[in-house]
Amino acid sequence: MRKGVRISAERPRLERELDRLEVGGLAMIAGSAGYGKSSSVASWSTRSGSPTRWIRAARGLADALVLAADEDAGAWLPRLSRAVRRGQPHLACATALSVDLAMPHAELTLVIDDADAIATDPDGLAFLRLIAERGPDTSRVILIGRHSATLRLATARSKRGVLEIGAQALRISPQQTRQIAEARGWSGTPTRLEEARRAAAGNGGMLAAWLARESDVSMQGDLNDFIRRDVVAGSAPLLRRLTQVDGDNADTSLLQSLWGEGLLIAPASHDELGGDLWSIPEMIATALNLPCAVFGQTASPNEPPTYVVQRLLQAEECVQIHDLGPLYVEANGRTIAGSSIRPRSLALLIYLGTRPRHTATREEAIDALWPDADPQAGLNSLNQAIYHLRRAIDPDYESAPEGGATPYIRHEAEVVSMNPELVRFDSARLSARLNKIRVRPRAEELEDLLDNYHGPFGAELPFEPWVERYRSTLEVGLLAVIERAVATAHAAGDYDRAINLAARASRIDPEDGGLLESLAMLLAEDGAMTSARRAAKRAVKVLREMEITPPEELIKLSERPIAKATRVLSERTRDLH
């Protein structure tokens, strides 16, 4: 079989655990990236026969609720759909969802994916708690996340029976490992393959990346990048810290929590892959340049796991991409002008800013930036663009170990992305805020949007079709909000605000004849005839260039003679000069 063929490995242990989930119960599934949590739950739910609805938190709770309501179309979650359509607050939506789950004979399975990301926001945490702390009903709830401590925080006072499932139930078996290896055309010895499975702690994603590296040595960096950024993520400083503590000081509950996430291997008394001591999986230890066996403390077989929430991590410094108007980057106390970044690397940065979660496959990036290149040339160009972009943004990239990863630009397997946890795009912030205030923004919200709009998106690539599409989406959304605000101010008799907003809108899109017409008529109503005539002339010109017949009233306003007093003042001004 060809390299790159994907296999969805079954997880019989996970399915046996989920079969124990009773009606009205709640399951928490925690594990690092690569264990196939979501796909395994989707497979189980298909076999279970009961209707399943998903809430996916990739872009925040508000978008997750809207998407869930759209996918359901009122079939099983009618109250949630109604609450979302009415734009009700998150807690009101959670209450509506709880009522939907409690409907007689519903027997729904609600899956909340990336639940620990939802829990990082106060509204999201309250949303999860409201669902968990409501009295048991005829439905089941499954929370999927990476960090078990965060999921426990959200369900600490759950009235539903809680079933915890860790990474051990998601590990791939030796037989599945061989199937994945054969599908990718690997022909090594079974012993080496089993060693790789153990080194990856049964993480199917890590094993697949390892198999890709075995067929292409140049992909060593991709394997380490995937492990550091996706599998380990923000837990790297914690693992590093644990290698330096004495065994007697290592908190057992913390070790067990990391074991449940797949970042540690417990001693053999608890873990089929374990030895005498707690250890870091070999592939993770190699990627982080850490020793494997690091703990002098053994597990107590009779001791039930107790857990604590510990915050030992320091967040990486965020990078700000100011991509509205001339692009510049703020990174680690430095300001980097877009003109100092290589053109194709800059294009890649701008392109990723247009993507959901700032992520694209290699093929998508190559098709957008090098549409005429053959596949190998396009891949080489992409790799060079990534390399130079990393050098430009991350000052420590050159001093990192060979094959090391930069925290900001990811390139693992078939995907290239900007880390959404560490990189902020002004354009993405604008889009998110427009979605939030699309109906009736407060005055201060609209002023803040306009103050931070420094020009059109992608000014460096004005004619690229994907730039034009994204720029148009942003401008249409922003102008629609402004137009509604102009109409509201006009209806309230606040001409100063209406004129100010219309003028600012016309500067955003100077080729919008409708905006110029509105500005001209507002100025005329307010008695500013000279400015009204000037705006009307521009509006008539733009409309005619668009082959649109201007309204008769607008034409008359554009041709209206300047008042005598104004003409005399202009003549005196010219004489002085």
| DSSP for 252-274, written as a single string | HHHHHHHHHTTS-B--TTT-TT-
Q: Residue 77 pLDDT more than 80?
A: yes
CA 271 distance to own-chain centroid: 34
The end-to-end CA distance of the chain, in Å, is: 84
Alpha carbon distances (Å) from 491 to 142, 325, 487, 494: 49, 32, 6, 8
Residue 408 has a pLDDT of 83
Residue 247 has a pLDDT of 46
Residue 516 makes CB contacts below 8 A (sequence gap 6+) with 506, 510, 535, 536, 538, 539, 542
Cross-strand pairs, 417: 359, 410
What SS3 class is residue 279?
A: strand
Backbone angles phi, psi at 417, to 5 degrees: -160, 160
Mark 60-71 as b/e (b = at least 16 C-beta within 10 Å). bbbbbbbbbbee
Measured CA to CA, the distance from residue 553 to residue 542 in angstroms comes to: 16
Adjacency order of strands within the sheet including 334-337 = 334-337, 328-331, 319-322, 423-425
Confidence of residue 493 (pLDDT cuts 50, 70, 90): confident
Confidence of residue 249 (pLDDT cuts 50, 70, 90): low
Residue 111 is classified by DSSP as E
Each residue of 99-147: pLDDT tens digit? 888 876 667 899 999 888 888 888 888 888 888 887 767 889 999 998 8
Start-end of H helices in 314-464: 343-353, 362-369, 375-393, 426-436, 443-451
Each residue of 144-178: pLDDT tens digit? 998 888 888 888 888 888 899 998 889 988 888 88
Each residue of 29-42: pLDDT tens digit? 999 998 989 888 98
Q: Residue 94 pLDDT more than 60?
A: yes
Each residue of 450-483: pLDDT tens digit? 877 888 899 889 889 999 999 988 888 888 888 8
Query: Which helix (H) or strand (E) covers residue 232, if one does?
Result: none
Each residue of 355-392: pLDDT tens digit? 888 888 888 999 999 998 888 898 899 999 998 998 88
In the block, tokens 């109906």 appear at 439
Backbone angles phi, psi at 30, to 5 degrees: -120, 140
How many residues in total does the chain contain? Answer: 577
Strands (E), 31-147: 52-56, 109-113, 140-145
Reported as half-sphere exposure (CB side, CA atoms, 13 A), residue 39 has a value of: 13
User: Are the C-beta atoms of residues 379 and 362 closer than 8 Å to each other?
Assistant: yes
Residue 203 makes CB contacts below 8 A (sequence gap 6+) with 32, 34, 35, 167, 171, 172, 231, 262, 281
Residue 248 has a pLDDT of 46
Residue 419 makes CB contacts below 8 A (sequence gap 6+) with 229, 358, 407, 408, 409, 410
In the block, tokens 């979605």 appear at 435
Q: What is the mean pLDDT of residues 498-509?
A: 79
Q: Residue 68 pLDDT more than 70?
A: yes
Query: Mean pLDDT for the chain?
Result: 80
User: Are the C-beta atoms of residues 1 and 182 closer than 8 Å to each other?
Assistant: yes
Mark 229-261 as b/e (b = at least 16 C-beta within 10 Å). bbbbbbbbebbeebeeeeeeeeebebbbbbbbb
Strands (E), 402-557: 409-412, 415-418, 423-425
Each residue of 281-330: pLDDT tens digit? 999 988 888 887 655 444 443 343 322 222 222 334 688 999 998 999 99
Structure tokens at 529: 């005839």
Residue type, position 87, single letter: G
Residue 576 makes CB contacts below 8 A (sequence gap 6+) with none
Residue 437 is classified by DSSP as S
User: Are the C-beta atoms of residues 358 and 411 closer than 8 Å to each other?
Assistant: no
pTM above 0.75, yes or no: no
Residue type, position 369, single letter: L
Percentage of residues in the chain having pLDDT higher than 90: 13
